[in-house]
Amino acid sequence: MTRAVLVDAVRTPSGKGKAGGALAGVHPADLLAGVLAALVERNGLDPGRVDDVIGGCVSQVGEQTMNVTRTAVLAAGFPETVPATTVDRQCGSSQQAVHFAAQGVVAGAYDIVIACGVESMSRVSLDAPFQGADVFGAGVRARYPEGLVSQGVAGELVAARWKIDREACDEFALRSHQRAAAAVSSGWFDGEIVPVQLDDRVHSTDETVRPGTSAEALAGLKPAFYDGALAERFPTVDWVITPGNSSPLTDGASAVLLMSEEMAAKLGLRPRAAFRGFAVAGDDPLLMATGPIPATRKVLDRAGLELDQIDTFEVNEAFASVPLAWSQELGVDLERVNPWGGAIALGHPLGASGTRLLGTLVNQLERTDGRYGLQTMCERGGLANALIVERLS
């Protein structure tokens, strides 16, 4: 069987996803084009040899519609013959792009493929795709007559179900910023970040990391998703999710270069990691953020591995309650989870987060001489992706 390997991973630094954010002036297609161009340039790869570019993007409306990945491929200067497509599995969109890309290599459909993602949350708002429409229809409303809830409220439901209090959420958020700040100061991100040239300067550092945050500052923030009617419906919810223990709105793009092991050898490129397993899972769409739990179990089973064989985990920090519930349910020591910080500090540019996590995961395995890494993330609708990589060099 052909083995799919990862050769390289790059990303932009994060930008705050609002007006005035560092990357707010950059069109999302150009944001993605920058990492695509950097990926082929730093590997000396003729872009014309790329069989496909698979990109993730969640809010595919406005500047991010009409197959933004293809637009970015053209903006990056790739030959017109290089195809591209854009996929949507909500927050896991670019992780799903990785799954599709690697599976295509294993199947023999691709020799060289790029998986990537982009989200400009400053230019395309999170609610822009809804346009005031009913996105569920009669069938879903009949199945869930009391109604589904937003992701933030789902994060609250998870906290209530696993009895995760405000102090635990804030402590986790503080740890995320401290770890990310330490990684930045140690230069750990330098190998994966592609600086973005702006009109007046170069943006090269994650804008969302707050080295000076404190437990006191986090404790002073108000709950972000409190609603009186929902408080009556869910009396066990303590409303512990705040802007401080949630991932911020973020702009960013990321990309990974995948190919067959044989092609890497032919081109003289170093394969850094191989893919050992993939899984996608569905779970309760009301709780929504619990999908990483069954997805993790599923991918371990598919790979024939046990939890204690995994050296490091990347679990997306949509809200602090998500990795906290995941670790509690599976019995994973948080010391092995998101060692360079997570989305609470590094940001969550929805469509780009999956490939961002993968690059950080492989870099951490290389830094620590670890062998196996597992990545998972929750997605709207009660979905989750999970994958396992094995470090090769």
> Among this protein's residues, is 378 annotated catalytic?
yes
**Each residue's pLDDT tens digit, 364-382:** 999 999 999 999 999 999 9
Q: Is 315 strand, coil or helix?
A: strand
The distance from CA 94 to its chain's CA centroid, rounded to whole angstroms, is: 7
| The one catalytic residue among 57, 116, 169, 378 | 378
pLDDT (average), residues 299-310 = 98
pLDDT, position 269: 98
d(CA 177, CA 327): 19
pLDDT, position 254: 98
Q: Is the pLDDT of residue 385 over 90?
A: yes
**Each residue's pLDDT tens digit, 228-279:** 999 999 999 999 999 999 999 999 999 999 999 999 999 999 999 999 999 9
**Each residue's pLDDT tens digit, 135-168:** 999 999 999 999 999 999 999 999 999 999 999 9
Q: How far is CA 159 from CA 261, 319, 321, in A?
A: 43, 10, 5
Q: Dihedral of the CA atoms 354, 356, 362, 366 (nearest 10)?
A: -160
pLDDT, position 181: 98
**Each residue's pLDDT tens digit, 329-365:** 999 999 999 999 999 999 999 999 999 999 999 999 9
pLDDT, position 1: 80
pLDDT (average), residues 185-201 = 97
d(CA 256, CA 301): 25
> Among this protein's residues, is 57 annotated catalytic?
no
> Among this protein's residues, is 116 annotated catalytic?
no
- When the pLDDT of each residue in the chain is averaged and rounded to a whole number, the result is 97
Q: Is the pLDDT of residue 132 over 90?
A: no
The one-letter code for the residue type at 76 is A
The one-letter code for the residue type at 35 is V
HEC secondary structure over 272-306? CEEEEEEEEEECCCCCCCCCHHHHHHHHHHHHCCC
| The one catalytic residue among 57, 91, 116, 169 | 91
**Each residue's pLDDT tens digit, 90-125:** 999 999 999 999 999 999 999 999 999 999 999 999
